[in-house]
Chain A
Amino acid sequence: MRFMLLFSRQGKLRLQKWYLAMSDKERKKMVRELMQVVLARKPKMCSFLEWRDLKVVYKRYASLYFCCAIEGQDNELITLELIHRYVELLDKYFGSVCELDIIFNFEKAYFILDEFLMGGDVQDTSKKSVLKAIEQADLLQEVWSGSSADKNDEVDFLFCTYLPLALALSCHFMGILQGLEERETTLWYLFCSSNNYSDQL
């Protein structure tokens, strides 16, 4: 795999992971171009496209596009599974993940990705062990920092609890209205739980 991108339906980048050396400028250009191509595709089209010399595999989950650029000999179908696995991991970690979780906790999304993939290849095929590693590392973060005072920041708590909920609700209903939500393939639930992970930043 060459790179992985997460972006919203409005064309806002939410996560980018590059497995090949490139200048920032080139990356920006590629991201912009690829987003245009993918966003222009209709919902009923297949998840693959050839773009430059790469095969692009993408899948939409609610308002987010997960997009992987793979090489010639890579298996497109298993790449879809890989994307799905990442979404599952996010979902387990955040507890019914939504786009806002990824926006506000982008660094966590990166940590999970780095625990799941490395250099573009799957590190571990067990969901459990990936999540365990993340949890332990999170724990380590707290132990070393020695304080959990930040955790009880009330404003943050309130915000993270209710605002995503409200927004997720509205996103969800809009999704239903536009007939874009497929119950079976999406993992987005109605309710966002309160964030149960540490926040020292």
Chain B
Amino acid sequence: MSMAGRMRMGVKDFVERMPAPIRLRELIRTIRTARTQAEEREMIQKECAAIRSSFREEDNTYRCRNVAKLLYMHMLGYPAHFGQLECLKLIASQKFTDKRIGYLGAMLLLDERQDVHLLMTNCIKNDLNHSTQYVQGLALCTLGCMGSSEMCRDLAGEVEKLLKTSNSYLRKKAALCAVHVIRKVPELMEMFLPATKNLLNEKNHGVLHTSVVLLTEMCERSPDMLAHFRKLVPQLVRILKNLIMSGYSPEHDVSGISDPFLQVRILRLLRILGRNDDDSSEAMNDILAQVATNTETSKNVGNAILYETVLTIMDIKSESGLRVLAINILGRFLLNNDKNIRYVALTSLLKTVQTDHNAVQRHRSTIVDCLKDLDVSIKRRAMELSFALVNGNNIRGMMKELLYFLDSCEPEFKADCASGIFLAAEKYAPSKRWHIDTIMRVLTTAGSYVRDDAVPNLIQLITNSVEMHAYTVQRLYKAILGDYSQQPLVQVAAWCIGEYGDLLVSGQCEEEEPIQVTEDEVLDILESVLISNMSTSVTRGYALTAIMKLSTRFSCTVNRIKKVVSIYGSSIDVELQQRAVEYNALFKKYDHMRSALLERMPVMEKVTTNGPTDIVQTNGETEPAPLETKPPPSGPQPASQANDLLDLLGGNDITPIIPTVPTSKPASAGGELLDLLGDLNLTGAPPSAPASVPQLSQPPFLLDGLSSQPLFNDIASGIPSITAYSKNGLKIEFTFERSNTNPSVTVITIQASNSTELDMTDFVFQAAVPKTFQLQLLSPSSSIVPAFNTGTITQVIKVLNPQKQQLRMRIKLTYNHKGSAMQDLAEVNNFPPQSWQ
């Protein structure tokens, strides 16, 4: 006899002699005695080995017990996949215990993405037609819990049959199973339509509840179904009314309220049916008012129903009186002792704040009080809601509260709170000085949490408020005296001191008590920023540039500045070293240009970024090689020079300004230069592949003045266009093209149209994308959007998306309309997949 044969015999003998495997409860007890993780693991390994060998022996008697044990180990986190097939065998067994454990195991161990699960389709089918309802119930439950789309397709017919039985135990399960089938395979929905006819006539609450769930699912998925089921509104209203009116029924009551689960579900279905439909909304007004006023609110159940009612009232076309009632219910919720109730109140107020702004404003002080809550969930909601309530009238008071919150809140809130304050301040600042003070406050209290763009934004703001320069620089100087920990603050301060150092020293500040500072003291501070080990490389860059700028603003310390600059010529920080070397050269070789180059920065009109993003920086030193292969651009490029200058002086974080106003000639020329370079850049052709270069350097671009027709032919002409923005009569549509030469470039043509009766003038469209993309905005066709949709502005955006990620874009619109300046921000997320995949 061979060795293997003997082994097999041995095992067989062993199994025959082996006593029954350890019982489930026994095993659990044993495992629970384990003192260490290692001990537990050892026990489990031992047991697993026994179970495996039992499985191998095709032992039918104890399979059920073994699978149950495996499920326990699975819960403890141990692998149990080897029990998958055994589950299928149990399901096929005739014993109910086997089936019960088998289906349970299948739900826990099988994954619908593994083909193994398909093996049980046939068993489920048989069991759905079984003579015992509990077996049918098991099959329905499993299908409704983990059925894959293939399974759902195969078994939908059986489910539909069971949905029509008179057996309520099966009917309720079939209804929920149908919900699952529809979720997996929406096109099977039609199939269940005939069976829904009599569902609401049912008396059994289980069937009624699950039917409402099924109807909800169908209405949410298909507008046709929604229209079809609108006729059920009166019936649903009647059911709800009966529920409220009915006396005590011990079976369904929960602390004195009859069947809250069913009530909530019906209210939710009513919400979907009444949305955007006047007649249906009208038909449910009364019952909603009745529920809202008559529900007992001393217990959580009552509040659950009220909460659902409020959501429904806010979502349908309800009467104004009813809406006020709803908001007042939420106001009462805010004062409730139960934190959970307060939380849902804040959540729902946040949903309604856009539509019922004034009604929500009335509860402002209560909401602001919630900022002091100890619970982070509530705090977050209160913060979001507080920001939503800020307006021109309450900005000072609200900001005081929010700044206090920023100071005291947990680190996780600081970033969001800071950017919220920035946005609100930008929108509603009562004065420039207040605006600057507010941002500075944020930088001093939460400087390390602000987003990267805060620094350039503040610098821009400061530059543009000419009359505030002396005040600002003095404040900043005081703020960083001896404290360099808040990097963004130090960066802004360094920039401002460099820019307005002369104002600081001359001490001519009207807004505040002037301070006496000498030139040397100012330089001391900047130098200590350079030395401080808290300073980042970027901050040092700011400080060095500031020192350099002061060489033209200060009179008697130029030699000291020269010395500092030359010291950093040998810095180990490459960035700093390069700067220092360049500045040194400025002192030595180009001294005659120094004062002109270091002149005060002009007022910045428009910056193309307004988010945590960067516009593709096409000029400058990053792409010098392709530049040389191009024909020299004709004409002067003041804009591009200005950009260079900015680049040189403005520190790392300032992005070049790409003006998008077509009327200014030089800017447009600059834009085209960018265009030209950008294009080459975008196609990603390395300089060593000259074949593609001539093709690209073909002149159409230069000839085509506004370059609204790009070089790209669409390869995917089927990309649907989207409406990116539609508000106040202004509509912006995006159409897409993909480049032939480089599929990672998406060309978006925007079309802005205006349906109001007045033209929109000075229209500027700006866009920003996340850092993984690069974006280029070409000049628009005009800056006026004519009224009555009589014409459009077109503008081309090119997006380079090398990683083919889902496109997201933030857009900013500014224009003059009816004599007032309008500004709006929006986020565009609905790009069709073809535009980026």
Interface residues of A (CB under 8 A from B): 12-16, 19, 21-24, 28, 42, 44-50, 73, 75-78, 80-82, 85, 103-104, 106-107, 110-111, 114-115, 118-119, 121-129, 133, 136-137, 140-141, 143-145, 153, 156, 159-160, 199-201
Contacts and interface: CB of A to CB of B under 8 A. Distances in A.
A46 B339 contact: yes
B813 interface: no
Contacts of B92: none
Contacts of B179: 119, 121
Contact of B344 (A12, A76, A85, A126): A76
A28 B134 CA distance: 31
Given A45-B375, A118-B141, A122-B261, A145 B97 contact: yes
Tell me what chain B mostly uses at the interface: helix, strand, loop, or mixed.
helix
Contact of B343 (A42, A44, A48, A129): A48
Given A114-B104, A201-B65, 18 more contacts: A23-B113, A45-B376, A46-B340, A48-B377, A76-B340, A77-B304, A81-B300, A85-B261, A103-B32, A114-B107, A118-B145, A124-B209, A125-B205, A125-B252, A126-B251, A133-B137, A153-B23, A156-B23
Given A28-B77, A81-B304, A126 B111 contact: no
A110 B104 contact: yes
Contacts of A123: 172-173, 176, 206, 209-210
A49 B480 CA distance: 39
Contacts of A144: 94-97
A44 B374 CA distance: 9
B104 to A, nearest CB: 5
A96 B255 CA distance: 20
A108 B32 CA distance: 19
Interface string B76-102: 110001000000000000111100110
Contacts of B108: 16
A125 B145 contact: no
B260 interface: yes
Nearest to B141: A114
Interface residues of B, number: 80
Given A21-B112, A46-B339, A118-B145, A15 B29 contact: no
A125 to B, nearest CB: 4
A106 B344 contact: no
Given A15-B75, A48-B377, A141 B100 contact: yes
A111 B100 contact: yes
Nearest to A126: B251
Contacts of B100: 107, 111, 137, 141
B131 to A, nearest CB: 12
B25 A156 contact: yes
B283 interface: no
B132 interface: yes
Contacts, number: 193
Given A21-B146, A133-B134, A141-B97, A80 B206 contact: no
A141 B24 contact: no
Contacts of A128: 251
Contact of A125 (B25, B206, B343): B206
Contacts of A50: 377, 380
A76 B381 CA distance: 15
B471 interface: no
Nearest to A199: B25
A24 B148 CA distance: 16
B158 to A, nearest CB: 16
A173 B815 CA distance: 70
20 contacts: A22-B111, A42-B374, A45-B339, A78-B301, A81-B261, A81-B304, A104-B28, A114-B104, A114-B141, A119-B145, A119-B176, A119-B177, A123-B206, A124-B209, A125-B206, A133-B169, A141-B96, A156-B26, A199-B25, A200-B64
Interface centre among B100, B146, B311, B374 (most CB of A within 10 A): B100
A140 B132 contact: yes
B387 interface: no
Interface string B768-786: 0000000000000000000
Given A46-B339, A81-B261, A144-B95, A13 B251 contact: no
Contacts of A110: 104
A136 B137 CA distance: 12
A104 B391 CA distance: 59
A78 B308 contact: yes
Contacts of A81: 254, 260-261, 300-301, 304
A8 to B, nearest CB: 12
B216 to A, nearest CB: 10
A57 to B, nearest CB: 9
A14 B75 contact: yes
Contacts of A201: 23-25, 64-65, 68-69, 101
Interface string B136-166: 0100110011101000000000000000000
Nearest to A140: B96
Nearest to B29: A159
Contacts of A22: 111
Nearest to B205: A125
A65 to B, nearest CB: 15
B440 to A, nearest CB: 32
Contacts of A137: 96, 100, 134, 137
A126 B301 CA distance: 15
B342 interface: yes
Nearest to A22: B111
